[in-house]
Amino acid sequence: MITSDQLRNVLEREQALRGYLDIDGKTIQLEEEELRTHDPGFWEDAKRAEIQMKKVKELKKWIQLYNEVHAAAEELQLAYDYVKEEITTEEEVDEAYGKAILLIENLEFRNMLRQEADQMSCVLKINSGAGGTESQDWASMLLRMYTRWAESNNYKISVANYQDGDEAGIKTATLNIEGEYAYGYLKCENGVHRLVRVSPYNAQGKRMTSFASVFVTPLVDDTIEVKIDQAAISWDTFRSGGAGGQNVNKVESGVRLRYQFKDPYTGEEEEILIENTETRDQPKNRENAMRQLRSILYDKELKHRMEEQAKVEAGKKKIEWGSQIRSYVFDDRRVKDHRTNYQTSDVNGVMDGKIDDFIKAYLMEFAAEDAAAEK
């Protein structure tokens, strides 16, 4: 059975959550925000109404999650008190403790995601590195890993773009992962992922190293203001590939958006290229491509803020969005994150989407710095 120190730890953490989440303040704020929705003309401005309803929903969620923690802590206290009177068993006390700790840890973890974009859905793009078939196969393995992770967390997944490799795997793929905090959890996956394994494509059975890059950006919606210069946009259309059907290689439903971006801070220019083959409806693909463009431009602004903060706080973590972040060494049964030094021998589990421990380790170490950079 749990000790009195373990019980005290749960009760102290529950009270600490109430304080630094400002649950009392959020409860008052929720009442005020809900009153605004009762205005007779509230729904006349759909965009404003959507922003307001989002705010109400977010406040309700924080209060609900804390209330679950509070109830679990109270249940644990009662179970602990009643065991002496044999009203509850030691097993029931341990079960109540496990439930309370899980809820507390989940809420503490969620509280690390405080940046403006953290609660958004995300766009995740995977590009194979140099190395032909070997790297293209590695890119497809990463695609499967992230798909499995998203499915296990009940996120909605759609494929915005997909290009097969020359012999196996993929050259590139873009996923929309939709649901609460998808970006907050997956932003730590930005960077280069390195695979070391005995290659199935090498006749001599040599140990090969492959690279693939992952880019994660917030998937913005209509409630986020992003400035787009319409004159800087040009479009191409092309025939989509696919598994078959009447439209394949006959109708130019695929779209290619080119945006001539000029950095407002440095004056540097670059072309942003987005391809979308998500549907067989060209107008819909254009709409999806524009949504991705808005996400990329929004992400550039976020990165600028972070880079400016990094210059001020030179002693803190240097932000390198394109750096090598993780190594997957198959024959040594090891996956290691080079930023946190967290590693595991469960290679098969990781490749099946069990990456939550890597995400948690990153947020535990860097969430506070990232939140400061966002301000």
Chain segment 278-311, per-residue pLDDT in tens: 888 999 999 999 999 999 998 888 888 777 655 5
Q: What's the mean pLDDT in 226-251?
A: 73
> 91: how many CB neighbours lie within 10 A of its CB?
10
9-36 average pLDDT score: 94
Label residue 201 by pLDDT band (50, 70, 90): confident
Comparing 73-87, 119-133, 167-181, 215-229, the range with the smallest average pLDDT is 215-229
What is the average pLDDT score of the chain?
Answer: 87
Query: Could you tell me the pLDDT band of residue 314, with boundaries at 50, 70 and 90?
Result: very low
pLDDT in tens, 245-257: 444 445 788 999 9
What is the mean predicted confidence (pLDDT) over 87-106?
Answer: 94
Q: Is the pTM of this model over 0.85?
A: no
What's the CA gap between 76 and 99, in Å, rounded?
9
**What is the percent of the chain with per-residue pLDDT over 90, rounded to a whole number?**
63
For residue 368, pLDDT over 90 is answered with: no
Q: Which pLDDT tens digit goes with each residue over 211-222?
A: 999 999 888 876
Phi-psi domain of 317 (left: phi exceeds 0; alpha: psi -120 through 50; beta: other): beta
pLDDT at 230: 93
User: Does residue 259 have a pLDDT over 50?
Assistant: yes
Q: How far lies 20's CA from each of 97, 133, 248, 332, 369, in Å?
A: 22, 50, 55, 43, 17
**Looking at per-residue confidence, does 110 or 65 come out higher?**
65
Task: Count other Cβ atoms within 10 Å, centred on residue 92.
Answer: 17
* CA–CA dist 85, 27 (Å, integer): 37
**DSSP reduced 3-state for 107:** helix
Cα–Cα distance for residue pair 267/198, rounded to 1 Å: 46
What pLDDT score was predicted for residue 13? 95
**Quick one: pLDDT band at residue 323, thresholds 50, 70, 90?**
low
Lookup result for tokens 């998500």: 278
Question: What is residue 226's predicted lDDT score, i.e. its pLDDT?
Answer: 82
Beta bridge partners of 208: 197
